[in-house]
Structure 1
Amino acid sequence: MRDPFADPADTEAQPKQGGALDAGFMLDWASAEARHRECLFLPWLEPERDRWPGDLGAALRGLGVGQGHEASRETAAGLVSHKEAVGVLELPASAFNRGLRRHRRVEPRAGRFYPRAFIAGHAGIEAGDRELFRVGALEEDRLVADLNHPLAGHQLRLRARVMDRHAHGRDDDRSVNIARLLTARGPGMQARWRGRPTDFWTGGALEREDPDRDAVFYAAPRRVHHLDATARAEIAALYGACIPPGARVLDLMSSWESHLDRVETPEAVIGLGMNAQELADNPRLASAHVQDLNVWPGLPYSPGSFDAVACTASVEYLTQPEAVFQAVREVLRPGGVFVVTFSDRCFPTKAIAVWERLYDFERMGLVLDLFLRAGFADLATFSLRGLPRPADDPYAGRLDHADPVFAVWGYRRD
C-alpha cells in the first residue's frame, strides 16, 4: 500500500530542537475483509505541549525533516481502548430514538454508526451526546449497541514522519490530542461488525433526489475539476502504485480528464463516460464509449479485456452498483485490479440516498461491500486526510485542508 509521506520535498541531515513540526502519520491495521492504511497530515505540532501517544512526541522532537519513527506496539495499542463486554449493550429495539433528526425519521440499520444521542437514557448516555456508536445485531425487538471504538481489538501499527519544521510554536495556548485526531470519527468504521455484512442497501438506499436520466444531467460538457489539485495528484500517484506498467486500462465513468498520468507506459487507456465531447477532449484516451451505466450496467467489452479498471469520484452515482462491479470483474484478466477512489464531494442530487447518510469511512465500507459481493480478492482500503489546500484553489482561505482521498481496491484471482 502507498505511503504518501515517503518522499518529502526537503530533507535535513541534522535534527532540530524546539519550535513546531509538521508530521505525517500512517496507521496500518487489518480486518477480516481487507488491509487498511489511514494517513493523516497534522501541521504545527509541539512535542512539549501536545498530548502524544506514548513517547512518540519525544521521538519526533529529535528527528530532522524526512526522518520517521515507528511507535511501539504498546503505544499503537493505546490509541483506542480494548474491547470490553461493558461496551456492548443489549437494548430493546424501541430504545433507538427514530424521530431524533428534525427533517426525517431515522431507522437503525445493522452495522451502521449513529450519534449516541439516539440511545440517550441508557448506560448513562445523555441527550446531545455526539460520540458515535455502532448498531450491531438488529432484530424486531432487540438492538445490540456497540460503544467500543471500531478499531478496538485490532492490532495497530503506527508510524510518523517529520515533514517540516518551524522555528517557533503555535500562536495559541491549546494542547492537541494526537491520538484523538488519528482515530476520531473514521478509522475502523469501514470494517464489518464481527464479520457480518452491513445493512447498506435497504430503505430506499439506491434512490436519488433527482430521478431523471443522467443523459439529461450530462448533456452539456462541464469541464470542471471535481477535486482540488492536491487530491487529484494523490489519486494519480495511487493509480501509479496500484496499476502495473504496460497495463490496458479502462477509465470507468470517465470525462475530459483522467487521473492516470503516473501509470507507467500503459498499453492503452479506454474511456467509458456520459458526455461525448468531454471524452473527445481527454488526451489520455485511445478510444471512448458513451454509456449510461444506470440504464445498462453491463460493459461493452470482451471478458478479460483489461489489466486494470479505475473509477474516480463517481461510484456514488451508480444506481445498480452491484451489477456494475460484477461487470468490471468480468472484463478484468485474472490478476487484474479494480481501483475505486472518491472524496467527500459530489453532486448530492445525483448521489444515491445511502451515500449522503453515511460518514466518510462508512462509505469506504459500502464500496468494500460491493467488492466482496462481486467476488474480488486481496482487498485494501486507503485514506489520506489533512494535507494543505493549494494556495491557488478557489476555496483557499475558506477551507484549510485539501479534499480527502479515499480508495478501495481488489483483484480478480480466477
Structure 2
Amino acid sequence: MNVIDMDSVADVVFQLKWNSQHAAHSECYAARGVNLWRDWLPDTIKRSLIGKRSWEHAAVGFSPGELFGSDGGHLKIDRRQFSNNPKAGRFYPKGCLSDLPGVFPQNMQPIRCVGVNNGHMEVDVAHPLSLHPLELSMTVGQVSAKESERGGSSVDWIGLLTEGPGMQARWQGKPTDFFSDNPFVRRDERTDDRFYDSPRLVHHLDETARDMVADVYKRFVKDGAHVLDLMSSWVSHLPEGVCPDRLSGLGMNRTELEQNPHLTDIQVHDLNAAPVLPYENKSFDVAICNVSVEYLTRPLDVFAEVGRVLKPGGTFVVTFSNRWFPSKVVRIWEQIHEFERVGLVMEYFLRSNSFKNLGTYSMRGLPRPRNDKYAGELALSDPVYAVWGQASAP
C-alpha cells in the first residue's frame, strides 16, 4: 500500500466544516490527482497528509482569517460606479465596479453589497469565510507515485473547495435581500398543471448525484418513519434498505406518482396555486424535497405548511443541484450564485418561523459516471446541495 510523500499523487476528499449564526455547514470537494509537489496546498495541509495511506484520515484547523486574511475589506463607493441594481447582502462580480484601480470588467471575484443609501453603497471584498474558524478533514483515496514532471499546471485545491462556501450565510446576521423586485416570477406564467400534464419519467440528476442525495436522506429517514415526499415524482431518492412505514407523495403528475413503487399514498396538488398541504398537523417525522424547491412561487407559505405537518423536532430536508426547467424556475434562482441559492433556501427556513437547528451540505468534484449521457461533455458529476431544519414546537 502506497504512503503519501512529496512525490505522490493522491485522490483526496476534502470536507470543510464551519458555523454561521444560523446553521452548521459542511462543504465537500472530491479532488482527483492531488500532486503534493506541484499543486498549491498550505504547508499545514501537506504535513498532515504526508505519511497517510489510502482510506486514512487527516485533519487541520484554521483560525479566522488564517486562510484568507481577516481584513473586512470594506469599500464605500459612489452608487454610479456599480453597473447593477444592488441588493443588501447579495454577491456580485467585482468587475461590476468601475473607476477603481486594478479592477477590470472581466474580474469575476464575488464581492458582497452590505449597504445602499444616499447615493452610495458599501461592499465587502473579503472572502465570505474569512471571519469563521474552519475545520478541514481529509480522506485519502488512491495513492500512486507521480510521473516525471514535464510541464503541467498547478491546481489550487483549497481555492476550489472554498469557491462559493460562505456565500450562503447572512452578513452580520442581517437578512439578505432576495425578496424585492418580483423574485418569484417565471418566464412561463401559465398554470403549472398544463406544464406538468405530460409525465416525465426521466432522471434529473446523474447517477452519482442521485447516490449523494440518497446519502443525505439516509441521515434523517429511518425504518418505520412517516415521510412526506414533497413535489414528488416517479423516484423518491431514498437510500436502499431503509423502510419507512409511510411514504406520502405529493406532486403534479398522477402518472409519475403512480409509477413510484415506494409511495404508500399519493396526492396530485399544485402548491403554487394552493400552498396548503392536505395533511393533518404533526403527521410526519421527515419531509424531503428533491430538485424542486426552485419552482416554488410562494415558498414561505409552503415551508410554514411543512412545519405544520411535521412532528416537533421532525426534519425537512431540501436537496437541489444546478439543473432545472428554465421556463418554470423562479427568476431569483437564475440570478444568484449556486451557494447563494443555499442561502435563499436558508431564508425560506428562517422566514417561515417554523424551523430551528439548520444545517447545509455541499458535494462537488465527483467524476461523472462513464455511462451518463453527458459524460462526453461534462467531466464532473452534478453538484449536490442540501439544506435542512427541525420543526419547532408550536
Cα distance in 2 for partners of 1:172, 1:297 equals 58
Whether the 8 Å contact between 2:357 and 2:389 is mirrored in structure 1 is yes
Q: Which residue of 2 aligns with 1:89?
A: 75
Is the partner of 1:364 in helix, strand or coil? helix
Note if 1:31 corresponds to 2:43: no
Q: Which residue of 1 aligns with 2:214?
A: 236
Report the more deviating stretch, 281-290 or 157-166.
157-166
Is the partner of 1:334 in helix, strand or coil? strand
Note if 1:65 corresponds to 2:54: yes
1:210 aligned residue (157, 164, 188) = 188
- The Cα of 1:56 is off from its aligned counterpart by 1.4
Q: Which residue of 1 aligns with 2:295?
A: 317
Q: Which residue of 2 aligns with 1:176?
A: 155
Is the partner of 1:232 in helix, strand or coil? helix
Matches within 5 A, 1:190-209: 190-209=168-187
Percent identical among aligned pairs is 42
Whether the 8 Å contact between 2:22 and 2:358 is mirrored in structure 1 is yes
Note if 1:253 corresponds to 2:261: no
- The Cα of 1:140 is off from its aligned counterpart by 4.4
Unmatched tracts of structure 1, length 5 or more: 1-11, 99-106
Q: Which residue of 1 aligns with 2:32?
A: 43
Counterparts in 2 of 1:123 and 1:380: CA distance versus 1, 3 Å:
farther
Paired residues in the alignment total 390
Cα distance in 2 for partners of 1:223, 1:171 equals 48
Moved over 6 A (4+): none
1:99-156: CA deviation from partner (whole Å, max 9, x where unpaired)? xxxxxxxx21111111111112236423332211000012242311110111011111
Counterparts in 2 of 1:179 and 1:54: CA distance versus 1, 3 Å:
same
Q: Which residue of 2 aligns with 1:384?
A: 363
Note if 1:393 corresponds to 2:380: no
Note if 1:133 corresponds to 2:111: yes
Q: Which residue of 1 aligns with 2:96?
A: 118
- The Cα of 1:201 is off from its aligned counterpart by 1.1
1:356-404: CA deviation from partner (whole Å, max 9, x where unpaired)? 0011000000000000011210000100000010010001121110000
Unmatched tracts of structure 2, length 5 or more: none
Q: Which residue of 2 aligns with 1:7?
A: none
Q: TM-score, normalised by structure 1?
A: 0.91
Q: Which residue of 1 aligns with 2:384?
A: 405
Whether the 8 Å contact between 2:3 and 2:143 is mirrored in structure 1 is no
- The Cα of 1:189 is off from its aligned counterpart by 0.2
Cα distance in 1 for partners of 2:61, 2:180 equals 42
Q: Which residue of 2 aligns with 1:297?
A: 275
Note if 1:344 corresponds to 2:333: no
RMSD: 1.7
Cα distance in 2 for partners of 1:365, 1:293 equals 22
Cα distance in 1 for partners of 2:166, 2:221 equals 26
